[in-house]
Amino acid sequence: MNETPVIEIKELTRRYGKQDAVNGLSLTVRPGRCYGFFGRNGAGKTTTIKCLLNLLRPTAGSVRVFGLDPQRDEVAVKSRLAYVPDVVAFYPWMTVRDTLKYLASFRAHWNRDIEADLLRRFGLNAAQKTTALSKGQRTQLALIGAICPEPELLLLDEPTSGLDPIVRREFIQTVIGAYQSGDPGSRTVFVSTHLISEFEGLIDEFTIIEQGRELLTMEADAARDRFKKIRARFAQPPAKLDLPGALSVKQNGREVEILANGSSDEFIAKLKSLQPEELQTESLTLEEIFVASQSLGPSKP
């Protein structure tokens, strides 16, 4: 059983002049996982991905893809992955069919059944020039080009930005359907996105990057178990609550809302002792965790 991580980033640092775009980032993606990579604009996501693709060289630290150095073994690495960025470029004189033939020519393997199936599913006209395609159709074409070689790693960088909700949904469904259908151990997805709520169902594990550093890495289920929103309503506005370690405490008259990163049982017990009229707990979604995590600071929970 192959346990080599598909992606292994160790203390990655990438400097631009005096700035560290990425500063000591570490993360590991095991085979078969769907890994989310979240961060604000300028946090270092695209720089990290460029290092995986040997478009940039690390200033310090290391990246390994399939256990290989993308710099030393560029072709070996790239032949086993496919990349879908947010802005897709095709040769403008080529048709959809030409483009797919061209992309296929670089690949040792190309599944023509999937190609035909996805062209039909997306309703793309194979004879149409790529310049005539809408943004959504260009992304669909790029996705076909990425899935047909049945790569071991699908690297997605803001793939659905600027697309309408229907196309965005179909994109995710296609990743789940056409891509994930293969042998689970050889189907790994690494997706960098702002649209966290859309990808939430897909994500097994994620890293939030902030100012070039890892802010939080967790399994999605564990994160939703850990991060809670506790809402309470009292008969009278309660005295200022002492809840050390809470991510945030908001008091609005008789109502209190607490965001907890662990210790929620403790907070619930404290609230219960004040005899609330109503007390409700729910988990934070990954997107809410992302927003709340900004107050976590550089140290891990």
Partner 1 sequence: MVFQVDFKTGKPVYLQLVDQVRYAAASGGLRPGEPLPSIRPLAEELRVNRNTVAKAYTELESQGVIETIPGKGCFLKENNSPFTKPVRQKLLLKEVDEAVVMAHHLQVDREAFLALVKERLDHFERKVASHEEKS
Q: How far is CA 7 from CA 137, 163, 265, in A?
A: 29, 28, 36
* 221 in contact with partner 1 (CB under 8 A): yes
* 198 in contact with partner 1 (CB under 8 A): yes
At 284, the amino acid letter reads L
The alpha-helical segments, DSSP class H, found in the chain are 45-52, 74-78, 96-104, 112-122, 135-147, 165-174, 196-199, 220-226, 264-273, 286-293
Shortest spacing between CB 33 and partner 1, in angstroms: 9
* 283 in contact with partner 1 (CB under 8 A): yes
* Count of residues engaged in binding partner 1, rule: CB under 8 A: 25
Residue 24 or 32 with smaller CB distance to partner 1:
32
Shortest spacing between CB 224 and partner 1, in angstroms: 5
Angle (CA) 136-171-226 rounded to 5° is: 130
Report whether 67 contacts 6 (CB < 8 A).
no
Shortest spacing between CB 117 and partner 1, in angstroms: 12
* 11 in contact with partner 1 (CB under 8 A): no
Paired with 19 in beta bridges are 16
Can you tell me whether residue 192 is helix, strand or coil? strand
Instruction: Give me the phi and psi of 117, to 5 degrees please.
Output: -65, -45
- Site mask, partner 1, residues 172-191, x = CB under 8 A? xx--xx--xx--x-------
Shortest spacing between CB 248 and partner 1, in angstroms: 17
* 203 in contact with partner 1 (CB under 8 A): yes
Structure tokens at 157: 């960088």
* 169 in contact with partner 1 (CB under 8 A): yes
Can you give the binding site for partner 1, defined by CB under 8 A? Answer: 32, 34, 169, 172-173, 176-177, 180-181, 184, 198, 200-204, 221, 224-225, 228, 282-286
